[in-house]
Amino acid sequence: MLAAMSAIRIGNCSGFYGDRFGAVREMLTGGPLDVLTGDYLAELTMLILGRDRMKDPRRGYAKTFLRQMEDGLGLALDRGVKIVANAGGLNPAGLADALRELTAGLGLTARIAHVEGDDLIGRVDELGLGKPLTANAYLGAWGIAECLKAGADVVVTGRVTDASVVVGPAAAHFGWGPADYDQLAGAVVAGHVIECGAQATGGNYAFFAEHDIRHPGFPIAEINADGSSVITKHPGTGGAVTVGTVTAQLLYEIGSARYAGPDVTARFDTVSLSQEDVDRVRISGVRGEAPPPTLKVSLNTLGGFRNEMVFVLTGLDIEAKAELVKEQMTEAFAARPPAEVRWTLARTDHPDAAVQEEASAFLRCAVKDSDQKVAGRAFSSAAVEIALASYPGFHVTAPPGDASPFGLFTPGYVDAKLVEQLTVVDGVRTVIPPAPEVRELEPVPAPPLPEPLSGPTRNVPLGLVAGARSGDKGGDANVGVWVRTEAAWRWLANTLTVDEFRLLLPETADLPVTRHVLPNLFALNFVVSGLLGDGVAAQARFDPQAKAVGEWLRSRHMDIPEALL
């Protein structure tokens, strides 16, 4: 009977807090949908919302979503489209109340439900989670599913996994149960593909020049009763949906082939992709396993204060000029130096440049301290005071400013049975039971490698044959690398080892690097532990979310077989 049910068509309108505002209207008017989802939460977003809540306990949710609903809720109701979003952040009940007020003010009738229970801030001592500003467990899809089955038109949640806003509607539509692991895993994979919006339709794509991505459409997952799906987009919208764009998103911010969640562990080494038609990619074959016994917890703390100055070094003697500034600044705050001082010299200068900017390099000094004054005016004033007594051509990219607070993200883990997920529909609160079966995560055995590809080579950029996408998980970075032919896979799998990866990216030379092999996707995934320090909120690195590490890797030269070129 389930096999005969029609596919559920789930679209996405947001990949982060601040994504394209008009996407809600675009998705609701661009073609048929059953459900419209939005992902508004990230590690950094939870810190931002935590600071909002400190100022006003009634806040703590994504205000953008509320403004989008002012324009889009009536459209959704007219078209029979359910809306599911994690925009509730730290205050899903508050967002639900605000939506009810909005609905009444617009003269509409809608059932607004919310899911809560993820917020553990009141139990951090009991659970041994330290003294964070925010503490939120990653909940799963069953609360969303129950709200939809109870007739909700809009469901807002706090911290659920990104894919849960897709898995919940699919589970409700098809009547899946907690033990339908393969179906759930298939929906998790579909959810992972569309959760970041236009990244599945050509945005941030390594081979971007192959498609018109000036205004890519947002993705849609047509999910079937067996968990298989087709990724597509509304007709006439920009961008593209190809095996390549879907592969790129599958590799985004993952670790091993076991992709663990609160409801199911999806096996990414079983994912099969095929181009069914133009802008239609089929995902099939996904296998699932029981989820792990613990839930991940997002913990954010205020780490202190940070500041930075960027000195412009122009023309000759760049290295000597940089050393002079370092010595002068070190002497200036010798009496009370900041707790952390990081210098970075970016050699963007070119010899004999016809444009001044092309003759300039940038010396960045970033500082952190628990004392706002030390990281603030004491630091920036020191930079100003040497302005007429330093290297020739002294200037900076921005005026000195006060220090700003920074945060620290750390993952925690708690027994899933200790977290109570609740749904609230029409004032009725219902407890969602934890997973009836769990399974400890185990390493996936390394698959056999294909026969190496031999022949004459040329030393050229890796990106001529390989795509990449990179991202962050706390202080770690992942770099997914894939190729598009079996011959290229024979070369990549045998050549891009951990040692070679470290040689190509010297920043990783002294860090733990783990390689995961995904032959089904012609892909490798490298996880670099500690590359991002304390995570994006701490701003420890030039590219704090590792968004462009993959492109850096693609720009490095390797000896690539001529047969692939």
Pairing relation of β-strands 280-284 and 272-277?
A: antiparallel
Q: 198 pLDDT exceeds 50?
A: yes
Helical residues (DSSP H) of 109-176, grouped into ranges? 124-127, 142-149, 164-174
Q: Report how far residue 342's alpha carbon sits from residue 82's, in angstroms, rounded to the nearest whole number.
A: 48
User: How many other CB atoms sit within 10 Å of the CB of residue 150?
Assistant: 16
pLDDT tens sequence across 144-164: 999 999 999 999 999 999 999
Segment 31-51 shows an average pLDDT of 93
pLDDT tens-digit series, residues 338-356? 999 999 999 999 999 999 9
Q: What is the pLDDT of residue 529?
A: 96
Tell which residue, 85, 5, 3, 76, has the closest CA to residue 37: 85
Q: What is the dihedral of CA 374, 377, 378, 381, to 10 degrees?
A: 160
Helix (H) or strand (E) holding 101: helix 92-105
Count of residues making up the chain: 565
Q: Does the global pTM surpass 0.75?
A: yes
Q: How far apart are CA 245 and CA 239, in angstroms?
A: 10
Model confidence over 464-474: pLDDT tens digits? 999 999 999 88
Backbone angles phi, psi at 527, to 5 degrees: -110, 120
Separation between Cα atoms, residue 111 and residue 172, nearest integer Å:
17
Answer for the pair 219, 493: CB distance below 8 angstroms, yes or no.
Answer: no
Report how far Cα 151 is from the mean position of its chain's Cα atoms: 31
Q: What are the pLDDT digits (tens) for 207-262?
A: 999 999 999 999 999 999 999 999 999 999 999 999 999 999 999 999 999 999 99
Q: What is the DSSP letter of 523?
A: E
- Nearest residue to 423 (alpha-carbon basis) of 119, 145, 201: 145
The owner of tokens 């296998």 is 287
pLDDT in tens, 464-510: 999 999 999 889 999 999 999 999 999 999 999 999 999 999 999 99
pLDDT band at 287 (very low <50, low <70, confident <90, very high): very high
Per the prediction, the chain carries an average pLDDT of 95
Q: State the pLDDT at residue 58.
A: 86
- For the chain, residues classed under CATH 3.30.70.1320 are 306-404
How many Cα neighbours within 13 Å face the side chain of 336? 12
DSSP 322-339: HHHHHHHHHHHTSSS--S
Q: What is the mean pLDDT of residues 173-195?
A: 98
pLDDT for the residue numbered 4: 55
In the prediction, which pLDDT does 535 show? Answer: 76
Helix H segments across 437-497?
A: 486-495
In the block, which residue shows the tokens 């390594």?
Answer: 206
Which CATH superfamily is 306-404 part of?
Multidrug efflux transporter AcrB pore domain like (3.30.70.1320)
- The count of other CB atoms within 10 Å of the CB of residue 446 is 10
Dig out the tokens for 486 from the structure: 């079996």
Per-residue tokens: 219? 């993705």
> Which residues make beta-bridge pairs with 343?
365
Model confidence at 313: pLDDT above 90: yes
Cβ burial, residue 510 (10 Å; 0-12/13-18/19+): exposed
pLDDT for 3 equals 44
Confidence of residue 325 (pLDDT cuts 50, 70, 90): very high
Q: What are phi and psi of 79, to 5 degrees?
A: -95, 0
Q: Supply 288's token pair.
A: 């699932």
